Amino acid sequence: MASRKLLLLPGDGIGPEAMAEVTKLITVMNAEFGAGFETEAGLVGGAAYDAHGEAISDADMERALSADAVLFGAVGGPKWDDVPYEVRPEAGLLRLRKEMELFANLRPAICYPALAESSSLRKDVVEGLDILIVRELTGGVYFGEPKEIIDLGNGQKRGIDTQVYDTFEIERISGVAFELARTRQSKVCSMEKHNVMKSGVLWKEVVAETHKAKYSDVELTHMLADAGGMQLVRWPKQFDVIVTDNLFGDMLSDVAAMLTGSLGMLPSASLGAPDPKTGSRKALYEPVHGSAPDIAGKGIANPIAMIASFAMCLRYSFNMVAEADRLEKAISDVLDEGYRTGDIMSEGMREVSTSAMGDAVVEKFRALSA
């Protein structure tokens, strides 16, 4: 069987603690199920700055580009608050996204039944929720030019950002959303603001054309992004896959995230274009949370976001769908059995360490695989 090359970039703060729980899983999958993962570890963020004076070295960047997938922990922390801007910890993640051309950000919002009580919304609104937000990640107003503050010379300044999308960018992100929808409930809702933005008019048009040309088996609806925000908190279960631009996706994915409880539970994936020869996509998987300096080193971080990011890696980079399903079920079962790290703790549950939560998931995965 071909080997599966993984680059592990644990980063800073709780990143290494969470990543350690994934490496336990990889060890078991290799030893007991012949998964054939080959792992290499590299440095990113503050850890890379301390070692090399930059947020990721060229050598690690090369490894990332040649790996089948990259698993990323988290970067940053007060120790590096004053390092030069170009080598700040986040620059490592931005370089990875840019050089790997990761244009599609996937953020699932899944509400595990055991945690439905801890959402800020009513249990019946969120219980069993399983939606996926597909956010365009490399275009739009965060990157468009001109982007500047100019002095108007009359005591006033003007801040300018430019929202810009070309046809190919909208085609490729909507293609990802339609393809993913086919593996789920086959429903895509596209969100933009065509009522007030030209880029929104083009977005809606191109999504509709892409749908008609290649994906007419999938149900497509359109919604204004502000209405989408309302619907997400009113009745989120109406959605399956939401596709939207960089700016709206940034906000809507955070709204959707909070429907499900803690930051410590949320995985994500960022995908690039398929390789024309092999069909495989460059991909990076990371928890949504940061390096949590307030709890780093205490052994109490929730590793589930990192483990669930690995489940996404199994599903999207290696087409190991059965294993991904089993890993997600293992997480759900462990929560049903009352295991909780501090961030998701509630009365009557069993509070456990990062490592004990990881062990419980590994054991459950093993049992489900038997």
Q: Is 226 a catalytic residue?
A: yes
DSSP assignment of 36-74: -EEEEE---THHHHHHHSSSS-HHHHHHHHHSSEEEEEE
Stretch of 33-41, 72-80, 110-118, 251-259 lying at the interface with ligand NAD (CB under 6 A): 72-80
Site for ligand NAD in 8-67 (CB under 6 A): 14
Distance CA 201, CA 82 (A): 42
Choosing from 5, 24, 142, 237, the catalytic residue is: 142
Distance CA 306, CA 321 (A): 18
| CA-to-CA dists, residue 310 to 190, 266, 322, angstroms | 27, 12, 13
Return the number of the residue (75 or 115) whose C-beta is nearest ligand NAD: 75
Distance CA 240, CA 229 (A): 15
Site for ligand NAD in 108-147 (CB under 6 A): none
Q: How far is the CB of 92 from ligand NAD (least distance, A)?
A: 9
End-to-end CA distance of the chain: 21
Choosing from 254, 325, 329, 359, the catalytic residue is: 254
Asked if residue 283 lies in contact with residue 70, where contact means CB atoms within 8 angstroms, the answer is yes
Query: Which of 171, 273, 293, 329 touches ligand NAD by CB under 6 A?
Result: 293
DSSP structure class, residue 275: P
Angle between helices 321-336 and 354-369 (to 10 degrees): 120
Determine whether the annotation assigns residue 300 to a binding site.
yes
Q: What track of x and - describes contact with ligand NAD for positions 200 through 239 (by CB under 6 A)?
A: ----------------------------------------
Q: Is 254 a catalytic residue?
A: yes
Site for ligand NAD in 340-359 (CB under 6 A): 341, 343
Distance CA 316, CA 18 (A): 21
Q: Is 302 in the site for ligand NAD (CB under 6 A)?
A: yes
Query: Which of 10, 16, 42, 76 touches ligand NAD by CB under 6 A?
Result: 76
* Footprint of ligand NAD (CB under 6 A): 14, 74-77, 93, 263-264, 286, 289-295, 301-302, 305, 341, 343
| Catalytic annotation, residues | 142, 193, 226, 250, 254
